[in-house]
Amino acid sequence: MKDIMTAPFVEEMKSTTANMYRLGWDERNGGNISYLLDEKAVAEYLDISKVIRKIPIGFKVPSLVGKIFIVTGTGKYFKNVAADPETNLGIIRIAGDGDVAELLWGYKDGGKFTSELPSHLMCHAQRLKVDPENRVVMHSHPTNTLAMNFVHELDEKKFTHTLWEMCTECVVVFPDGVGILPWMLCGTNSIGEATAKKMKEFRLVIWAMHGIYGAGKTMDETFGLIETVEKAAQIYMLTCNRPRINTIKDSEMKELADLFGVRVRDGILDLAE
Inter-axis angle of helices 219-239 and 156-166, nearest 10: 90
Chain CA centroid to CA 164, Å: 19
Q: Which helix (H) or strand (E) holds 115?
A: none
User: pLDDT 10s digit of each residue in the chain, 273 long?
Assistant: 899 999 999 999 999 999 999 999 999 999 999 999 999 999 999 999 999 999 999 889 999 999 999 999 999 999 999 999 999 999 999 999 999 999 999 999 999 999 999 899 999 999 999 999 999 999 999 999 999 999 999 999 999 999 999 999 999 999 999 999 999 999 888 999 999 999 999 999 999 999 999 999 999 999 999 999 999 999 999 999 999 999 999 999 999 999 999 999 999 999 875
Q: Could you tell me which of 95, 61, 68 has the C-alpha nearest to residue 189?
A: 61
Q: Are 9 and 35 in contact (CB under 8 A)?
A: yes
- At the topology level of CATH, where does 116-273 sit? L-fuculose-1-phosphate Aldolase (3.40.225)
Domain boundaries, the chain: 1-114, 116-273
Q: How many other C-beta atoms lie within 10 A of the C-beta of residue 133? A: 12
Between CA 32 and CA 20 the distance in angstroms is 10
- At the topology level of CATH, where does 1-114 sit? L-fuculose-1-phosphate Aldolase (3.40.225)
Give per-residue burial for 76-91: e unless 16+ CB within 10 Å, then b: bbbbbbbeebebbbbb
Q: 59-82, pLDDT tens digit by residue?
A: 899 999 999 999 999 999 999 999
Which residues form the catalytic set?
Answer: 116
Q: Where are the alpha helices (DSSP H) in 27-132?
A: 39-43, 85-88, 117-130
Between CA 39 and CA 18 the distance in angstroms is 25
**Topology alike, domains 1-114 and 116-273:** yes
